[in-house]
Structure 1
Amino acid sequence: MLVAPRCAIIDFQVQTEFAMKWEKNDLVYTILNYSPDLTRDEIREAIAAAFAKWSAVIPLNFKEADQDGDNVDIRIGFYRKYHGDNGPFDGEGGELAHALWPPTGVIHFDDDEKWAYKNEEKILLKKKNKYVYRDLLQTATHEIGHAIGLDHVRRNDSIMKTFYIVSTDSDGRYIEPQLYQFDIETIQARYARKMDTSY
């Protein structure tokens, strides 16, 4: 059976019909450890860019903390296999990451995957018809969607689709992943729209 790369949230936590959301607007995240595939600055930039996609459309603000502490709401890290929670990773090519809904605040990436950021050559590189690298920006944007309360959807016009599909244009060139209109409307229904405060 062919298993496509995917997010593991379905396996990792009990599904619920209740709308999970943060009850405050200012959230703090920290990155506990890093993948050797990218520099610390690249990982921090990718994670910040992923949070920014969501904060551009809803009234949540995300700030990075230098270290873990009681003020941290979302803890992010790169791990292999069993790593102390109920969702051990399966190695390269299967589950890419998982996250927990609010208010738990956990995002884990499988460090057996090869990660890339803003590197079209790596992101589009295939061997034996399979992608070698995973786009950290796309995966982080998806996992943050879970961390702020969204579930998977069965449609291709959503960053919250279960399976990893590289973001490309009609000519097969890499394009930076974005929220789709469906994602924006869904998250705004949960948190409200971002108010324009410019004058």
Structure 2
Amino acid sequence: MACRKENKICFYLECGRTHVKQPLEHALQRWASSVSPLKFYRVKKFAQADIWISFLRGYHGDEFPFDGANGHVAHAFGPPDGRSILIRPKIGPLARGTTMGLDMETLGLREFGHALGLGHIEVQEAIMYPIINPTG
């Protein structure tokens, strides 16, 4: 059973690696502290979560495969579904905690916005702008 009550939202994070976990948890705390009354709690069981975060590649059961086309590296589904799906960070020339040059906190901040029900906006500097530029 999910724990969504008033301002409490539980999330399940499939990956426990520190270089992934910390920036994603920080992204959630940014939503909680700066723009909303929400409080996020990490749960250990998938079935308890309102939002779940998975790291997948290629086709993964929805109509939005991570195939590299158009640079798609993540997507999220808003309420009532509320699940976030992030592609696994690439290993190799990119820094740990990045995906195709995007840092995990920025990517998480944006995708959690979608999971909370926010859409894109046409303000280029905003986190919910349709395109995120890779970090320099």
Please give the range of the TM-score, normalised by the shorter of the 2 chains. 0.7 to 0.9
On the 8 A contact 2:27/2:105 being kept in 1, the answer is yes
Q: How many residues align?
A: 129
TM-score, normalising length: structure 1:
0.57
Amino acid at match of 1:31: L
Q: Secondary structure at the match of 1:49?
A: helix
Q: CA deviation at 1:27?
A: 0.6
1:149 to 99, 117, 122: 117
The list of structure 1 runs, each at least 4 consecutive aligned residues, that deviate by more than 6 angstroms after superposition, is none
Which residue in 2 is equivalent to 1:64?
A: 42
Which residue in 1 is equivalent to 2:75?
A: 98
Q: List runs of 5+ in structure 1 lacking aligned partners.
A: 1-21, 118-122, 124-130, 168-173, 175-199
| Largest Rg, 1 or 2 | 1
Q: CA deviation at 1:110?
A: 2.0
Q: CA deviation at 1:140?
A: 0.4
1:87-137 C-alpha deviation (Å, 9 max, x unpaired): 2111387101000111212111123745644xxxxx7xxxxxxx9532111
Q: Distance in 1 between matches of 2:57 and 2:21?
A: 20
Q: Secondary structure at the match of 2:9?
A: strand
Which residue in 1 is equivalent to 2:52?
A: 75
Q: CA deviation at 1:160?
A: 0.6
Which residue in 1 is equivalent to 2:7?
A: 25
The structure-2 alpha-carbon separation of the partners of 1:98 and 1:141, relative to structure 1 and needing over 3 Å to count, comes to same
On the 8 A contact 1:28/1:62 being kept in 2, the answer is yes
Amino acid at match of 1:75: W
Q: List runs of 5+ in structure 2 lacking aligned partners.
A: none
TM-score, normalising length: structure 2:
0.81
Amino acid at match of 1:82: Y
Q: Secondary structure at the match of 1:109?
A: strand
